[in-house]
Structure 1
Amino acid sequence: MPKEQHRSAAEIEAQIQAQIHAARDQIEATRARVNKRTGRDLAAAVLIALALGGGLLASLLWVKALFLVFATALVGFALYELASALRFAGRDVPRIPLVLLGCAILPITYFLGPAGLWWSTLGAIAVVAVVRLVELADPATRRGGRAVLQDVAGGALCIAYVAVLGAFAVLLTAQDGGEWWTLAMIIMTTVIDTGALAVGVWLGRTKLAPRISPGKTWEGLAGGALAATAAGIPLSILMLGQEWWFGIVLAGLLVVTATVGDLAESIIKRDLGIKDIGSFLPGHGGFLDRLDSILPSAVVMMALFQIVHA
């Protein structure tokens, strides 16, 4: 009898272990299907998004100036990623001076305003170009006038695309009450991305731009627009102090800018022949992959703020 009880207990334990392994395999298979459909490690993406969101909220709602530090760090990583991707594609872009000068644009903009933004941008582009020209003293860096011009243009692209557009978010935050507009913008772009992803995975059939971004669908775009409208109306009333219809206008504009920003980065990645600009953030690719929707949206949000407070 004890031997039979021992055998029965062993069989039960084996069955439990088999069920655990079967459940684990099923979870992994489901996760693999979701990751394949979304093009990212969704679990890692959610954890990273929560961490970044926590840092964002702390910087905006605790001490507003901390957002400058937060944004400058993100822009610095994104600049390094894009410059590295360009170098991988054969463009000799001076990364270190580009990152340092590009990051300097944000605090100059925060404290000096629009004039600081434009003068620091011109200065950063000029210095990066001069650094590339000085490098020509080394014969190994001489690849012809056209190639050098493309290198200089690559550096200017990095600064204009990442640092300047990122500086608009800092400029917006620096305004009286601007932190709420920045927070609303980031919430809206996150909602748009999440809504488009969820509806695209569930119902997506019609490709939006198959040659640029095969994963995007018109159904996903519609889902992002609906989610943006649902979020935009209460955010406009409760956070921005505007009328309910302002939320519909805001949703429409940010859907366009977020989509254009995402597609613009996809064009860059396609031209460079890479899947992700960087690999710092598991499930997201890189920092620029998370900022692509926010960067152009910051310009529109700053314009709306100026119109409302004119």
Structure 2
Amino acid sequence: MTHSGDRHADAEEALESINKRTGRNMPQAVATGALLVVVILASLLIRVDVFVVLIMVFMILGLWELRVDFATAGLHTPLLTLCLCSSASILVTYYAPSHLLAMMLCIMATVVLVCLSASTRINMGTRVSVAVARKLSSTDSHARVESSYNKADVDEGIHQSRISNVGASLFTVLYIPLLACFLVLPLTFGGHPIAHAFISIFLPALSDIGGLFFGAWFGKHKLSPRISPKKSVEGLLGSMVFSTLGAFAIVATTYDSAQWASSWWVPVVLGVMTGIVGTFGDLCASMLKRDIGIKDMGHLLRGHGGVLDRVDSILLSAPFITLVLYFAGI
């Protein structure tokens, strides 16, 4: 019994050490990540259209999280308009004959409608207020002190100007629906939609995993200690290594030997670029959270925080991956 208790205590201590180095609850993170992989694979195996709908669902969840996050700083974004216009943009981008033109027109229309909606204040009930109160109660005081929106009357509610609301809404359009459309575009060319979906979703995910493990075990040189203390140069190298290996695996198992031989450079470019851009996406998300004064974007994914905490690198990598795939002709 004593030896069993000692082994259990050692295991808990080791797990606590790993959680501390990685900055997250690893058992929960692994379980959530595995579930997400199963859901994505299932959607692709059923039909690519289902995968497009899945992107739309995650985008709507991200819009809700960002709506609550901005509301903690008194910024109002028109959630209903954003959800409707963004969903239409995703579907039109995939189903319209001229995919890129349709995407551009939809995003332009979304910008106009969202900015007009943001200049008015329509009360949609108490759900946002309840979510804001819950987030503020779970946010440590240090994060609020560093926020650009830290004010003495935070408990009484902060109300920003209409131009600030429009700015926050415009940022939301550019950050979520626009980048989400670039996850859909690779499904429309090249003749390999499943491979393109794997590259768009799993390369940034592998980049995150590589950065997490290399940073936890070898990280000594801080990449940007003020923005994200846990990011390291070693983690960045790990991100590039993991995403490059993943790109080679996907390309090698998808294309024939002749095309694979002539396009050997594509996985290298995709891997290195995804590692760099994905890490930059994580840093941008960290800057946003620090500026607002919150720890996580949300709480929907156990061990990962919110949906946006999981997909920030995926979203920012999407335009670059789309361009490489398109110009490489694969």
Output the TM-score relative to the length of structure 1.
0.86
Match of 2:276 among 252, 256, 261: 256
Tell whether 2:294 aligns with 1:280.
Answer: no
> 2 CA distance for matches of 1:173 and 1:167?
10
Using CA pairs below 8 Å that are at least 6 residues apart, which structure has the higher relative contact order? 2
By how many angstroms is 1:252 displaced? 1.5
CA distance 1:151–1:58, change in 2 (3 Å): same
> 2 CA distance for matches of 1:187 and 1:130?
36
Tell whether 2:114 aligns with 1:123.
Answer: no
> 2 CA distance for matches of 1:136 and 1:164?
24
Look up the match of 1:226: 241
Q: Which has the larger radius of gyration?
A: 1
State the one-letter code of the partner of 1:171: L
Match of 2:63 among 56, 66, 79: 79
1:180-219 correspondence to structure 2 within 5 Å: 180-219=195-234
> 1 CA distance for matches of 2:35 and 2:158?
44
State the one-letter code of the partner of 1:59: S
State the one-letter code of the partner of 2:233: W
Look up the match of 2:192: 177
Look up the match of 1:103: 87
Corresponding residue SS for 2:119 = helix
> 2 CA distance for matches of 1:110 and 1:62?
17
> 1 CA distance for matches of 2:3 and 2:83?
52
| CA RMSD after TM alignment | 2.2
> 2 CA distance for matches of 1:143 and 1:229?
46
Corresponding residue SS for 2:164 = helix
Look up the match of 1:40: 24
By how many angstroms is 1:225 displaced? 1.7
Look up the match of 1:306: 326
By how many angstroms is 1:116 displaced? 1.9
Output the TM-score relative to the length of structure 2.
0.81
Corresponding residue SS for 1:283 = coil
By how many angstroms is 1:23 displaced? 3.3
State the one-letter code of the partner of 1:115: L
Corresponding residue SS for 1:292 = helix
> 2 CA distance for matches of 1:159 and 1:194?
28
State the one-letter code of the partner of 1:214: P
Q: Is the 8 A contact 1:82 1:277 kept in 2?
A: yes
Structure 1 unmatched runs, 5+: 1-15
> 1 CA distance for matches of 2:242 and 2:108?
38
State the one-letter code of the partner of 1:74: F
CA distance 1:143–1:297, change in 2 (3 Å): closer
Corresponding residue SS for 1:134 = coil
- Which stretch has the larger CA shift, 243-252 or 273-282? 243-252
Q: Is the 8 A contact 1:60 1:183 kept in 2?
A: no
By how many angstroms is 1:143 displaced? 5.8
Identity %: 30
> 1 CA distance for matches of 2:159 and 2:122?
9
> 1 CA distance for matches of 2:244 and 2:294?
33
Look up the match of 1:162: 176
By how many angstroms is 1:214 displaced? 0.8
Look up the match of 2:288: 268
By how many angstroms is 1:25 displaced? 3.0
State the one-letter code of the partner of 1:301: I
Q: Is the 8 A contact 1:233 1:245 kept in 2?
A: no
> 1 CA distance for matches of 2:304 and 2:94?
28
State the one-letter code of the partner of 1:297: S
Q: Is the 8 A contact 1:79 1:159 kept in 2?
A: no
State the one-letter code of the partner of 2:267: G
By how many angstroms is 1:83 displaced? 1.5
Look up the match of 2:139: none
Corresponding residue SS for 1:278 = coil
Structure 2 unmatched runs, 5+: 124-156
By how many angstroms is 1:173 displaced? 1.6
Deviation string, structure 1 residues 253-280 (Cα, Å, up to 9, x no partner): 1112211111111111111111111111
By how many angstroms is 1:97 displaced? 2.5
Look up the match of 1:9: none
